[in-house]
Structure 1
Amino acid sequence: MRDYRKYVNLFLFIILVAAAFRTEYNPFESNVATLGTGLSIQSDALYKEIEERSNTLSEKPQDAYIDDVWKKTAGRNGLKVNVEKSYEQMKKKSVYDESLIVYEQISPNISLDDLPASPIYRGHPEKDMVALLVNVSWGESYIPEMLSILKENKVKATFFIEGKWAKENSDLVKMIDEEGHVIGNHAYNHPDMARLSSGDSVEQINQTNQILKAITGEKPKWFAPPSGSFNDQVVQSAHSMDMETILWTVDTIDWKNPSVSVMINRVTEKIHPGATVLMHPTSSTANGLDQLIKLIKERGYKLGTIETLLSEDR
């Protein structure tokens, strides 16, 4: 009996020693974060102020939706204050400073992918970003200059490329791709898509996808109907191939070869949050692109690809 008790006591002693050396758990250590004074962080006046103000600074996420006029519209992430990280940023000064608030983005419940087939004209109407859309079925002599200007200004654009043109200018397609721009589909031979049968619409999009994938290694996600001509059948055809149909809200009308000042005024008078600016590889655009980019930035807008514009990121 004594031997039995001796072994039981030894066993219990070993368990207690092992528990004491566990780094992830110590029964004598508090889980409440403390300040140097021994007070909990939660009781600090600065922490409490951040916590109280966080309610007014937070924003709910906005779901993607289909607008009566602008059709499929991207959602927008909400904002939530990370109180602990914000406190870490401010505790050295021990003074509340809203510029040091740390936010977390909260995704909406409904994204663009959750919505039925519908064209897209713009980004979220509160997103201070603009996307340059370049439709390409001619004008190859201006593309290198445009790419150089975009690179100098650290701007990425979206090039919607015709399949037939891509076959004849694969080097330029590769150049656009290697510069990090997004490449979209502009049908095969610039047809009036609204007049095509469903089968012909699919063929126009699919044939171009195959050509662009052979050149770049990736299947396009975005489709821009030539001349903006489309109907529900065209949108459904693109949707059946997991593609979104992209239109625009601001038109340079550069194919009419306007003066640079006229083209720039057209854009700057109509620019808005979430805008999509349509252009082509023309002399007007090549000569005015640098100035146009700078003016858009001066208005407080960032410039990004269609992917960035339509993302839910703030």
Structure 2
Amino acid sequence: MKIMYIKKKVIYIILIAIVTIIFLSFIRVGIRNRDSETFARDIYYNGNIDKKVIAFACNVDWGEEYIPKLLDILEEEDISITFFVTGKWAEKNESLLKEIYNRGHQIGNHGYSHRDYGKLNYEINKSEIEKCHNVVYNILGIDCKYFAPPSGSFNDNTIKAANELNYDIIMWSIDTIDWREDTTEELIVQRILTKADNSHIVLMHPKENTIKALPYVIKSLKKDGFHIGNISDVIK
């Protein structure tokens, strides 16, 4: 009888252990599902359309003196691109932001200030993205949907904040590195044309050598059969 009692006790303990393992597994799956929901928004280094379309993304926190000429070049070539602006820049340059938008270009969110978002906590990430969103909305009456983190720096907090604010994070496929003083017009042309491919995203800034390089770049891409557009043109 004693042996049977011990066996029953062992079986009872084993059953409890099995039930506990199953219960913990369900909890783990639930946590994973919540995490996948938290990070459900996409991070795009390039688009997802397999066509000869290439997007230009111009990040703006300075360089407003070059933007009128840039707009003229784009208008002449009948091209609409995406300008990612910081909230601080937008506040100081309302009329220019309106001109960019009224001339048919897409406006994206570059954060309120040009900070290292990869080092910021969740609350500050969310505040920076949301504040820029509100600045642009108050000036143009539109809701931006793409966020380009300054310097391409982001962390899990950035992803979570962007997701909760219904933003996709936009990176790049081709970096012109035009902000560096040693980047020449020729280097910008080379960096774009040697890497151009379907759905690629070209990162640029309003710089003098970028303005000089663009006419040749645009004509060469068009000659190769590319349509040049904004971020929405390369993302379904």
TM-score by length of 1: 0.61
Higher helix share: 2
Which residue identity lines up with residue 146 of structure 1 in the other structure?
Answer: L
For 1:275 and 1:118, how far apart are their aligned partners in 2?
16
* Structure 2 residue corresponding to 1:204, chosen from 103, 128, 135: 128
Gaps of 5+ in 1: 1-114
Is residue 225 of structure 2 the alignment partner of residue 285 of structure 1?
no
Is residue 164 of structure 2 the alignment partner of residue 240 of structure 1?
yes
Is residue 164 of structure 2 the alignment partner of residue 264 of structure 1?
no
For 1:208 and 1:296, how far apart are their aligned partners in 2?
33
For 1:267 and 1:233, how far apart are their aligned partners in 2?
31
- Written as runs of structure 1 = structure 2, the 5 A alignment for 1:120-269 is 120-124=44-48, 126-257=50-181, 258-269=183-194
Percent identity over paired residues:
38
**Which residue in 1 is equivalent to 2:22?**
none
- Written as runs of structure 1 = structure 2, the 5 A alignment for 1:25-36 is none
Secondary structure, aligned partner of 1:310: coil
- Written as runs of structure 1 = structure 2, the 5 A alignment for 1:10-159 is 116-124=40-48, 126-159=50-83
Secondary structure, aligned partner of 1:261: helix
* Structure 2 residue corresponding to 1:296, chosen from 200, 217, 221: 221
Aligned residues: 197
For 1:118 and 1:184, how far apart are their aligned partners in 2?
15
For 2:133 and 2:72, how far apart are their aligned partners in 1?
26
For 1:119 and 1:236, how far apart are their aligned partners in 2?
12
Which residue identity lines up with residue 80 of structure 2 in the other structure?
Answer: K
For 2:79 and 2:122, how far apart are their aligned partners in 1?
36
For 1:155 and 1:125, how far apart are their aligned partners in 2?
18
Secondary structure, aligned partner of 1:133: strand
**Which residue in 1 is equivalent to 2:233?**
308
For 1:195 and 1:243, how far apart are their aligned partners in 2?
19
For 2:157 and 2:123, how far apart are their aligned partners in 1?
10
For 2:185 and 2:84, how far apart are their aligned partners in 1?
23
**Which residue in 1 is equivalent to 2:200?**
275
For 2:143 and 2:184, how far apart are their aligned partners in 1?
36
What's the CA shift for 1:125?
Answer: 5.8
Secondary structure, aligned partner of 2:58: strand
Partners of 2:110 and 2:147 within 8 A in 1? yes
**Which residue in 2 is equivalent to 1:82?**
none
Q: Deviations over 1:94-125 (max 9, x none)?
A: xxxxxxxxxxxxxxxxxxxxx92231111126
Which residue identity lines up with residue 151 of structure 1 in the other structure?
Answer: E
| Deviation beyond 3 Å, 4+ runs, structure 1 | none
Secondary structure, aligned partner of 1:117: coil
For 1:217 and 1:117, how far apart are their aligned partners in 2?
24
What's the CA shift for 1:232?
Answer: 2.2
For 2:184 and 2:127, how far apart are their aligned partners in 1?
38
TM-score by length of 2: 0.81
**Which residue in 2 is equivalent to 1:92?**
none
